[in-house]
Amino acid sequence: MRIPYTGPLPPPIIVPRNANTPTGAISALTRFLSAPPSPLLAASPSSNGRTVLLTGAGISVASGLADYRGTAGTYTLNKTYRPIYYNEFTSNHEARKRYWARSFLGWTNLHKAQPNAAHWAVRKLGERGYIGDVITQNVDSFHPLAHPDLPTLELHGYLRSLVCIHCRNHLPRKEFQQSLSRLNPAWAAFLAEMLETGALDSEHPDERRAKGLKSNPDGDVDVPDAPYTTFRYPACPACLANPPRLADGSQSNVQLDADGAWSPQSTAGVLKPAVVMFGESIASSVKLAAEQAIDQASRMLVIGSSLATYSAWRLVKRAKERNMPIGVLNLGGVRGEESFYADTPADNDGSLGVRCSESVDRILPSVVQNLDMLASAPAMAETSETQDNSAY
């Protein structure tokens, strides 16, 4: 289940000690990714000898998206922020109005945002054989966009489509956004005005707050005192065409208002984003796939995540229990990180574990460059030796 951890996070533990600078962090991460499997690693018949990558919101900050707990994160700057929970969304029509109104305003910027240098670095690490699988907590779809050939598991789903909670039919978000515009002309005009004035263009939360806006990581924008109760949303077209049977066997009904919006007299046809909301359970098949990705790897690298949700933290716990070296590249503290490095040798140079607190988009591309230089060094040495021998 996706449940946020609300307790205080510890200050970051830097491992090894010289990883406290960008140069030191790059060197330690280079050793971590290029090291052979640990001799203490639990045996696995499916092991691929590669690193499994777990990413969080911090990797997408450079793309203009907010994170949760960074220096400019939602929880850091907005102490009253509370995400919507699954049972609230599924049972409360007014809560859905508020959610879809905020999502309607935030979708435009999320839709036009692009993967950043860190995502492209992940692609290169996959192409060069260092990373075997990616597990991401993010719902922005940047990983599959940046590296479609590198296996990626979207642990918490994705915002690019919706799913009906009654018939499980999927609907592209772009199509849904167009329906929201049609049903809410005043809101559409407000969004057009914000886009025209550049109110949504700034990536800095202070500038958005000055304009009366609050941006959040899951692609929504809060406008304080906005008339959310006036917002309307469409019904699932599949349920509308063929109302499904309910869990008790009775026939559902889907009704629309005069303009074609979902009516609260309906008993089906409710669409939700294809994400795992807070308080919602992750599908068993997804949990199993994540565990398999852990079990077949030789080490784990966490990037841009404080592991504040149990669904992510338990994966690192599983990796640690298999004696896998753990690497963490994240600005600020990480839940339970002291336990990841409690038994790391004092003379560790990063090969058996690394923890650094640096900006992902600045560090990861340099790590790729370092690894490329390491890989080319033997080839250059062999070429030089061949040239020397040919002289005789």
Q: Which residue among 156, 166, 170, 204 is the active-site one? A: 156
CA angle 310, 314, 320 (to 5 degrees): 150
Query: Across the chain, how many H-helices and E-strands are there?
Result: 14, 11
Told to judge if 147 belongs to the known catalytic residues of this protein, a careful annotator would answer no
Largest CA distance in the chain: 92
Q: 């949504």: which residue's tokens?
A: 200
For residue 171 the two structure tokens come to 């609907």
Residue 254 has φ and ψ, to the nearest 5°, of -125, 120
Q: CA 297 → CA 31, 43, 81, 302, 366, distances in Å?
A: 17, 11, 36, 13, 23
Please name the residue ranges forming H helices in the chain. Answer: 22-34, 74-77, 86-91, 93-112, 117-127, 142-146, 173-183, 185-197, 205-210, 237-241, 284-295, 310-321, 337-340, 360-390
Would strands 170-172 and 214-216 be described as parallel, antiparallel, or unpaired?
unpaired
* Residues 6+ away with beta carbon under 8 Å from 59: 116, 118, 119, 138, 142, 303, 304, 360, 361
Calpha distance 102→150 (Å, rounded): 33
Bridge partners (DSSP) listed for residue 134: 53, 152
Type of residue at 261: A
Instruction: Report how far residue 325's alpha carbon sits from residue 207's, in angstroms, rounded to the nearest whole number.
Output: 41
State how far the Cα of 238 lies from the Cα of 218, in Å rounded to an integer: 26
> What residues are annotated to the active site?
156
